[in-house]
Structure 1
């Protein structure tokens, strides 16, 4: 049985993902050439579309915010030895928590009190939705991948039922809830820039959830690598039997890992529902839970890597829209293909490149 390759962090988190990204872009360029398009032209549209203007940067960071939450969710579960593929459902349920808090309490509470409650509601609802598969895994032996996939569908169905039968205002055909009070809306950064600093920025969906996502990164780093509870979680994830003999309870750690993972995924609802939509809608997660898996893989389950990978996917999402508009022969499906190749080389192929880097690093170190 082959032993896992151990690399320095600057290679494992920095150089290895960069190499995989370059390989993925090279292969994507070959695919673009094969369909008769110019890779350089696509790249010259994609990068400026995502980073060439303040509005484009705003949209890129907005997408990246959501991916940070879902990427962290996958990473925390992975450190506990679990593959949480249910970020989609947990984010949906977190959005439901945001909506209920916003609809019931928003008209009666000021923003300084309402916004923290919105964040807490999103985290608690996401945590609660993840706790059930965690219990089934820990005490009933159900496989976490199967149950979390099932709960994705259950969450989406429950969201539809509540919107259609309970939360949709009477006389409204659109399947969405009533609009929240202003106190339950996460402020947009372009509005705050004008209000606080007198600086006028182009409108974009970017809101204060970005700061919440960065704070979540700091918390996850502290929890996993600085706290005793995080050490126990990583110990159980690495060697459950050894951790059990050391006095740690693997069942409890499954609940901790999935609970924290679900809470992080639930925070997507703050960005999407409180920060952008201002009401509960259908399918507002739009695949971000599954993108979080790719983000965590590419970021090597480390908060710094997850931020960088989230920025990359934010660029791909925003720039891909510009490419599909400006290049008629370059469809949205080609953008999805590019994202899939990046997932393949940055995630599944990461272990293929690791031995090569280990040999090179060993040779340089000996020399």
Structure 2
């Protein structure tokens, strides 16, 4: 075959490429001490090794931090169910003849655990035994009512966590915010709308001032925020007790530490009517979640706060003031916790007492941890803990299971979240980035094999 016939059969691009490759091999062979390198074999991408983009996305979800949180809750419920079964009388009775009829023990254990959790569900989500639609959805409204202060205080703790500060003082911030909001609510008389707005501002201001003390001490003197906020909790509790013993706060004609009831104009209106306790404070919690999401992910202030939390030294070198960051984030965190106090006195309690904050401030730390300090994760964790609180009473009433088991489950959730390697090993899920690393290693091996060939 003549060169002209060969040129006619091969396309111009392929002929040029073949000629270039031949010239390269000939020049390499002519050079002394060098060997001709074989053509490079393209490596497979990590996505193709993992089975395509869909499987890669699924594996990223399964190995993410959110999945660890979900599995921590599941594992805590399993352990809680075992404890419920272990303390049940029927289970104890059937255990005495386990070797003759082992199925009786298993059946009794399943009945005890499933019955308790079903009562918890009916008391917190939907009541299947209700006779009216209103009573059917009433447990869900109770959950959202209890979750409102948990969400708001949890957001305050989460924002501080994202900036590298451990805000353990949400309890005191709730109390001071509730005290200022309650005083404006019963001592000042204003038209509807304006009065409630002033109550909200007063509560947020009280919480912000109380948290700002810790932020200023951290920024100016380097005082550890954990110690300062814990001590401020005790100060707030005893300060409110003192205030409730003074004529300005104590209800006339009463010797109990309780304030006068807030004006009607200073209270959150019911969200679904007078038959439900759910109030417009829950809508405020949703708006606060949206705002914090925007602040931390879409604003310059949020970027600076996260930079301070990630590496204060690098943030200072980049021109970001860590002093300003510590103060600003604690003001925001305190305002959110103060808003939780407003939800208590203006939405649920309608009066100020020494126990107005209950344990919401400490539970908020757990909520922020479970939510991985993300706004919507904290929101979901707040609803979950609200369900535990709302359904615990029904569980104890209907099945006799102690409500303390709810606290055990909450504590187990924190324990498992604090030990993610334990959860990953139990459920055999890889660490984040494992598939990416595996893909890179596979690609490297392929390239090595091509070079050796």
Where does residue 27 of structure 1 map in the other structure? 79
Q: Tell me by how many angstroms 1:97 deviates.
A: 1.4
- Asked if 1:117 corresponds to 2:198, the answer is yes
- Asked if 1:348 corresponds to 2:418, the answer is yes
Would you say how many aligned residue pairs link Structure 1 and Structure 2?
347
**Superposition map of 1:140-159 within 5 A:** 140-159=221-240
Q: Tell me by how many angstroms 1:84 deviates.
A: 0.2
C-alpha distance 360-263 of structure 1, shift in aligned 2 (>3 A) = closer
Residue-by-residue CA offset, 1:80-108 (whole Å, 9 max, x unaligned): 10000000000001101111211232x2x
Q: Where in structure 1 are there 5+ consecutive unaligned residues?
A: 1-6, 195-202
C-alpha distance 101-41 of structure 1, shift in aligned 2 (>3 A) = same
Q: Tell me by how many angstroms 1:205 deviates.
A: 2.4
1:127–1:266 CA contact under 8 A, matched in 2:
yes
Q: Comparing 18-27 with 142-151, which one deviates more in the overlay? A: 18-27
Q: Tell me by how many angstroms 1:334 deviates.
A: 1.9
Where does residue 170 of structure 2 map in the other structure? 87
From the CA coordinates, give the structure whose radius of gyration is larger.
Answer: 2
Question: So what's the TM-score if we normalise by structure 2?
Answer: 0.73
Whole-angstrom distance in 2 between the partners of 1:354 and 1:242: 32
1:13–1:302 CA contact under 8 A, matched in 2:
no
Q: Tell me which of 218, 224, 228 is aligned to 1:137.
A: 218
Where does residue 171 of structure 1 map in the other structure? 253
Q: Tell me by how many angstroms 1:357 deviates.
A: 3.3
Q: Tell me by how many angstroms 1:8 deviates.
A: 5.5
- Asked if 1:334 corresponds to 2:411, the answer is no
Where does residue 264 of structure 2 map in the other structure? 182
Q: Tell me which of 300, 316, 326 is aligned to 1:228.
A: 300
Residue-by-residue CA offset, 1:206-255 (whole Å, 9 max, x unaligned): 11000000000011011111110110000000000000000111111000
Where does residue 200 of structure 1 map in the other structure? none
Q: Tell me by how many angstroms 1:63 deviates.
A: 1.0
C-alpha distance 359-255 of structure 1, shift in aligned 2 (>3 A) = closer
Q: Tell me by how many angstroms 1:159 deviates.
A: 0.6
**Superposition map of 1:68-79 within 5 A:** 68-79=151-162
Q: Where in structure 2 are there 5+ consecutive unaligned residues?
A: 1-58, 89-108, 127-135, 443-453
C-alpha distance 226-8 of structure 1, shift in aligned 2 (>3 A) = farther
Q: Tell me by how many angstroms 1:299 deviates.
A: 0.7
Q: Tell me by how many angstroms 1:266 deviates.
A: 0.5
Match of 2:330, SS? Answer: helix
Whole-angstrom distance in 2 between the partners of 1:358 and 1:171: 62
Whole-angstrom distance in 2 between the partners of 1:357 and 1:211: 38
Runs of 4+ that moved beyond 6 A: none
2:63–2:432 CA contact under 8 A, matched in 1:
no
Where does residue 391 of structure 2 map in the other structure? 319
Q: Tell me by how many angstroms 1:26 deviates.
A: 1.4
C-alpha distance 359-112 of structure 1, shift in aligned 2 (>3 A) = closer
2:204–2:338 CA contact under 8 A, matched in 1:
yes
Q: Tell me by how many angstroms 1:12 deviates.
A: 3.7
Whole-angstrom distance in 2 between the partners of 1:149 and 1:295: 18
C-alpha distance 359-152 of structure 1, shift in aligned 2 (>3 A) = closer
Q: Tell me by how many angstroms 1:360 deviates.
A: 8.6
Whole-angstrom distance in 1 between the partners of 2:311 and 2:266: 43
Whole-angstrom distance in 1 between the partners of 2:203 and 2:413: 30
C-alpha distance 22-269 of structure 1, shift in aligned 2 (>3 A) = same
Where does residue 15 of structure 1 map in the other structure? 67
- Asked if 1:59 corresponds to 2:139, the answer is no
1:13–1:305 CA contact under 8 A, matched in 2:
no
Q: Over aligned residue pairs, what C-alpha RMSD do you find? A: 2.1
Residue-by-residue CA offset, 1:23-54 (whole Å, 9 max, x unaligned): 11111122222222611111111101111132
Whole-angstrom distance in 1 between the partners of 2:81 and 2:430: 24
Residue-by-residue CA offset, 1:179-226 (whole Å, 9 max, x unaligned): 1211111112233xx7xxxxxxxx332110000000000110111111
1:64–1:314 CA contact under 8 A, matched in 2:
yes
2:80–2:405 CA contact under 8 A, matched in 1:
no
Where does residue 199 of structure 1 map in the other structure? none
Where does residue 344 of structure 2 map in the other structure? 272
Whole-angstrom distance in 2 between the partners of 1:349 and 1:207: 37
C-alpha distance 293-163 of structure 1, shift in aligned 2 (>3 A) = same
Whole-angstrom distance in 2 between the partners of 1:9 and 1:253: 32
Q: Tell me which of 145, 150, 160 is aligned to 2:241.
A: 160
Residue-by-residue CA offset, 1:127-151 (whole Å, 9 max, x unaligned): 0000111111111121100110111
